[in-house]
Structure 1
Amino acid sequence: MLLTGRDLLHEDDDQAALRALARQVAERELAPLAAHWDETGEWPAKSQAAIAQAGLYGIAVPEEHGGAGLGQVEVTIVLEELARACVNSAVTAQLTLNGPPRVLGHLGTPAMRERWLPRAASGEAVFCLGITEAEAGSAVQRMRAKVEPDGDGYRLNAYKNYSTQGHRADACLCWARFPNGEIGAVVVDMTSEGVGVAGTHRNMGLHGSTEAELTFDNVRIEPDEVLLDGSPGSFRTLLGHLNHERLGNAAMCLGAAQGALEHATRYLRERPAGSRRLADLQGLQWKVAEMATELEAARLLVYRAAHLAGPHESPPALETAMAKGKANMVARMVCDEAMQLHGGYGYSREFPVERAYRDVRGLSFGGGTVEVLKNYVGARIADGEAPHGPSWRSSH
Structure 2
Amino acid sequence: MSATSVGGDQYTLTEEQRDFRDVIRQLVSQRIAPRAAEIDATGEFPHDIAKLLAEQDLLGLPFDERHGGTGTGALMLCVAIEEIAKACASSSLILAVHDLGTLPIRLAGSAAMQDRVLPRYASGEWLAAFALSEPDAGSDAGGMRTNAVRRGDTWVLNGTKNWITNAGVAAAYIVFAVTDRSVSYSRGITAFLVEADRPGFAVAKLEHKMGMRGSPTGQLTFDDVELTDDDVIGTPGEGFKIAMRTLDHSRLGIAAQALGIAQGATDYAAAYARERTAFGKPINELQGIQFKLADMETRCAAGRELLYAAAARADRHAPDLGKYSAMAKLFCSDAAMDVTVEAVQVLGGYGYVTEYPVERMMRDAKLTQIYEGTNEIQRLVIGRSLR
Task: Give TM-score scaled by structure 1 length.
Answer: 0.91
Aligned to 1:116: 117
1:290 aligned to 271, 289, 295, which one?
Answer: 295
1:24 Cα shift?
Answer: 1.6
3-state SS in 2 of match to 1:248 = helix
1:69 Cα shift?
Answer: 1.6
Alpha-carbon distance change, 300 to 312 in structure 1, aligned in 2, over 3 angstroms: closer
1:127 Cα shift?
Answer: 1.1
1:315 Cα shift?
Answer: 7.3
Aligned to 2:325: 320
Q: Is the 8 A contact 1:99 1:129 kept in 2?
A: yes
3-state SS in 2 of match to 1:209 = coil
3-state SS in 2 of match to 1:309 = helix
3-state SS in 2 of match to 1:207 = coil
Aligned to 2:203: 197
1:56 aligned to 50, 55, 58, which one?
Answer: 58
Provide the C-alpha distance between the structure 2 equivalents of 1:43 and 1:158, rounded to a whole number of angstroms: 26
Alpha-carbon distance change, 160 to 247 in structure 1, aligned in 2, over 3 angstroms: same
1:229 equivalent in alignment to 2:235 = yes
3-state SS in 1 of match to 2:170 = coil
1:250 equivalent in alignment to 2:251 = no
Provide the C-alpha distance between the structure 2 equivalents of 1:230 and 1:313, rounded to a whole number of angstroms: 26
3-state SS in 1 of match to 2:218 = strand
Aligned to 1:29: 31
Q: What's the CA shift string for 1:71-107, capped at 9, x where partnerless?
A: 11011111001111100001011111x2122332232
Provide the C-alpha distance between the structure 2 equivalents of 1:58 and 1:106, rounded to a whole number of angstroms: 16
Match for 1:226: what amino acid?
A: V
Aligned to 1:153: 154
Aligned to 1:308: 313
1:379 Cα shift?
Answer: 3.0
1:219 Cα shift?
Answer: 0.6
1:143 equivalent in alignment to 2:115 = no
Q: Is the 8 A contact 2:173 2:196 kept in 1?
A: yes
1:150 Cα shift?
Answer: 2.2
Q: What's the CA shift string for 1:158-200, capped at 9, x where partnerless?
A: 2000001112111000011113651120000011000011101
Provide the C-alpha distance between the structure 2 equivalents of 1:206 and 1:320, rounded to a whole number of angstroms: 22
Match for 1:34: what amino acid?
A: A
Provide the C-alpha distance between the structure 1 equivalents of 2:159 and 2:112, rounded to a whole number of angstroms: 24
Match for 2:126: what amino acid?
A: A
Aligned to 1:7: 10
Q: Is the 8 A contact 2:269 2:343 kept in 1?
A: yes
Alpha-carbon distance change, 130 to 248 in structure 1, aligned in 2, over 3 angstroms: same
Q: Is the 8 A contact 2:176 2:239 kept in 1?
A: no
Aligned to 1:276: 281
3-state SS in 2 of match to 1:173 = strand
Alpha-carbon distance change, 165 to 341 in structure 1, aligned in 2, over 3 angstroms: same
Provide the C-alpha distance between the structure 1 equivalents of 2:234 and 2:119, rounded to a whole number of angstroms: 21
Q: Is the 8 A contact 2:110 2:234 kept in 1?
A: no
Match for 1:301: what amino acid?
A: L
1:42 aligned to 44, 53, 56, which one?
Answer: 44
Provide the C-alpha distance between the structure 2 equivalents of 1:268 and 1:324, rounded to a whole number of angstroms: 29
Query: Which stretches in structure 1 are left out of the alignment for 5+ residues?
Result: 384-396
3-state SS in 2 of match to 1:202 = coil
Alpha-carbon distance change, 194 to 365 in structure 1, aligned in 2, over 3 angstroms: same
Provide the C-alpha distance between the structure 2 equivalents of 1:314 and 1:188, rounded to a whole number of angstroms: 31
Q: What's the CA shift string for 1:38-75, capped at 9, x where partnerless?
A: 11110011111111111111122121221122211011
Q: How does 1:328-339 map to 2 (within 5 A)?
A: 328-339=333-344
Provide the C-alpha distance between the structure 1 equivalents of 2:178 and 2:316, rounded to a whole number of angstroms: 29
Q: How does 1:334-345 map to 2 (within 5 A)?
A: 334-345=339-350
- Say how many residue pairs are matched: 379
Task: Give TM-score scaled by structure 2 length.
Answer: 0.93
Deviates more, 1:313-322 or 1:138-147: 313-322
Q: Is the 8 A contact 1:247 1:306 kept in 2?
A: yes
Aligned to 1:164: 165
3-state SS in 2 of match to 1:295 = helix
Alpha-carbon distance change, 113 to 6 in structure 1, aligned in 2, over 3 angstroms: closer
Deviates more, 1:169-178 or 1:98-107: 98-107
CA RMSD of aligned residues (A): 2.0
Match for 2:300: what amino acid?
A: L
Provide the C-alpha distance between the structure 1 equivalents of 2:355 and 2:49, rounded to a whole number of angstroms: 21
Q: Is the 8 A contact 2:107 2:242 kept in 1?
A: no
Match for 1:105: what amino acid?
A: R
1:204 Cα shift?
Answer: 0.6
Query: Which stretches in structure 2 are left out of the alignment for 5+ residues?
Result: none
Provide the C-alpha distance between the structure 1 equivalents of 2:189 and 2:21, rounded to a whole number of angstroms: 38
Match for 1:102: what amino acid?
A: L
3-state SS in 2 of match to 1:77 = helix
1:215 Cα shift?
Answer: 0.2
1:355 Cα shift?
Answer: 0.5
Q: Is the 8 A contact 1:241 1:314 kept in 2?
A: no
Q: Is the 8 A contact 2:249 2:322 kept in 1?
A: no
